[in-house]
Amino acid sequence: MPYDAIKELSTMVKGKILYQVPLSRYTALHVGGIADSMIYPANLTELQKIISFCRTEKVPYFILGRGSNLVIRDGGIRGIVIKLSQSFKKIKIVKEFGNHARLFVEAGVSLRRLFTYSESRGLSGVEFTSGIPGSLGGALAMNAGAQGREMKDITETLTLLTPRAALREKKRSALHFDYRRLHLPKGTVIVNASIRLKKHSTSTLLTREKSTPWRRQMQPLNLPSAGSVFKNPPGKSAGQLVEQAGLKGLLAGKAQISEKHGNFIVNRGGATARDVLSLMKIMQSRVYQETGIRLEKEVHVVGENE
Ligand SMILES: Cc1cc2nc3c(=O)[nH]c(=O)nc-3n(C[C@H](O)[C@H](O)[C@H](O)COP(=O)(O)OP(=O)(O)OC[C@H]3O[C@@H](n4cnc5c(N)ncnc54)[C@H](O)[C@@H]3O)c2cc1C
């Protein structure tokens, strides 16, 4: 365990460092073992220093957003978990042109704040993110989307930090967005984005209240979850396939396939990653047996087995 190396790093950074961090507190599903350490870099220079240090000292690192699309295994995460939520929170309009505006948004900004900021300035284009409980960085990494719109539709450029700690600006045309995925080399950090929104009269603007009722109806928002567990296969709904396989409500330990939505696994209190992963296996094998369709994970499964 690179514990001494992490201690050494702590003398070089001003940002907060925590040790032996229970990751279940940092994931929407409330599962996940212990992280050796968690660092909140104080600024971009510090983030670069940390990435460069990890490379030379061979310390593994993991970027954690708001933990809303993650299953972290019960053995936790070795090395450093990097959180951008304290110092990467700037959001501002940098240019207005015609009926458009360009926003500069840092990776630690929550989608909720991005929505509220845009809504209060009469800007539209991010309504689809309403009710998605992620950070900008996580939403870009996942190419999060809803109602036929995705993060790629509003992205103009991204500032990335490469695993060699070099800063790169990439235009959308040079980025490879896919369904619930942005292809980036492993270890790349999304630092900020330039996004393009439309000016709107407030009367036609879709407000938070108007854009989320369908979620309350369809999704088990009263219990911890990680959102959709599997990607929708082309032309199909993963939730319906799980439901047709008769699996809704199935329990493994304290994890349960939601009775409300077949593609959500909920934590009924005290579930482990092992419980969640065993339900995921059952969902995949039963749907495959019955339909020949292989469900592909949407959630990222990371960390060590216990
Ligand atoms: C109730 C509920 C509803 C949801 N509804 C939707 C929905 O409608 N549509 C949808 O697409 N998703 C949905 N999700 C899933 C999730 O909210 C989104 O994928 C979200 O964008 C993930 O952001 P995050 O900050 O939580 O990322 P995390 O879960 O923390 O991380 C996800 C991945 O992104 C990487 N990552 C995070 N930040 C960065 C960064 N700065 N640089 C590089 N990599 C990074 C992480 O390493 C990880 O691999 C839902 C989840 C829940 C719990």
Q: Return the DSSP state at 296.
A: P
In whole angstroms, give the CA distance from residue 171 to residue 97.
19
Which atom of ligand 1 is nearest to 151's Cα?
11
The two tokens of residue 257 are 């396939």
**Across residues 252-258, what is the average pLDDT?**
98
Active site residues: 180, 228, 298
- Residues within 6 Å of ligand 1 by CB: 28, 62-70, 84, 107, 132-135, 137-139, 141-142, 144-146, 180, 189-190, 219, 221, 225-227, 300
Helix axes 44-57, 3-10, angle to 10 degrees: 150
- DSSP secondary structure, 225-236, as one string: B-S-SBPPPTTS
Could you tell me what percent of the chain has a pLDDT over 90? 89
Model pTM score: 0.96
Mean of the per-residue pLDDT values of the chain: 94
Residue 61, domain extent:
3-83
More confident residue, 200 or 54: 54
Q: Is the pLDDT of residue 204 over 70?
A: no
98 and 205 fall within a common domain: yes
Residue finishing a domain among 210, 233, 256: 210
204 and 223 fall within a common domain: no
Q: What is the domain-level CATH number for residue 227?
A: 3.90.78.10
218 and 286 fall within a common domain: yes
Can you give the pLDDT at residue 8?
86
In whole angstroms, give the CA distance from residue 64 to residue 275.
22
Q: Is the pLDDT of residue 228 over 60?
A: yes
Q: Report how far apart, in Å, the C-alpha atoms of 216 and of each of 68, 110, 211, 270 are.
A: 17, 20, 11, 24
Residue finishing a domain among 210, 232, 263: 210
More confident residue, 210 or 277: 277
107 and 10 fall within a common domain: no
Can you give the pLDDT at residue 200?
80
**Across residues 152-166, what is the average pLDDT?**
97
- Residues paired with 303 in a beta bridge: none
110 and 191 fall within a common domain: yes
Number of domains in the chain: 3
Which atom of ligand 1 is nearest to 191's Cα?
41
Q: How crowded is the C-beta side of 305, counted as CA atoms within 13 Å?
A: 3
Could you tell me what percent of the chain has a pLDDT over 70? 96
149 and 204 fall within a common domain: yes
225 and 125 fall within a common domain: no
In whole angstroms, give the CA distance from residue 15 to residue 27.
21
47 and 110 fall within a common domain: no
Residue finishing a domain among 63, 83, 103: 83
Q: Is the pLDDT of residue 54 over 90?
A: yes
153 and 220 fall within a common domain: no
34 and 95 fall within a common domain: no
Q: Is the pLDDT of residue 273 over 70?
A: yes
Can you give the pLDDT at residue 216?
85
Q: Is the pLDDT of residue 96 over 60?
A: yes
Q: Is the pLDDT of residue 203 over 80?
A: no
What contacts 23, CB < 8 A, 6 or more positions away? 32, 33, 34, 35, 64, 67, 72, 76, 77, 81, 303
176 and 260 fall within a common domain: no
147 and 224 fall within a common domain: no
Least confident of 141-145, 207-211, 287-291: 207-211
Q: What is the domain-level CATH number for residue 193?
A: 3.30.465.10
Task: Calculate the CA dihedral of residues 187, 193, 196, 197 and round it to 10 degrees.
Answer: 100
Which atom of ligand 1 is nearest to 143's Cα?
11
Instruction: Using most ligand atoms within 8 A of CB, pick from 69, 183, 298 the residue to mutate for ligand 1.
Output: 69
Can you give the pLDDT at residue 181?
96
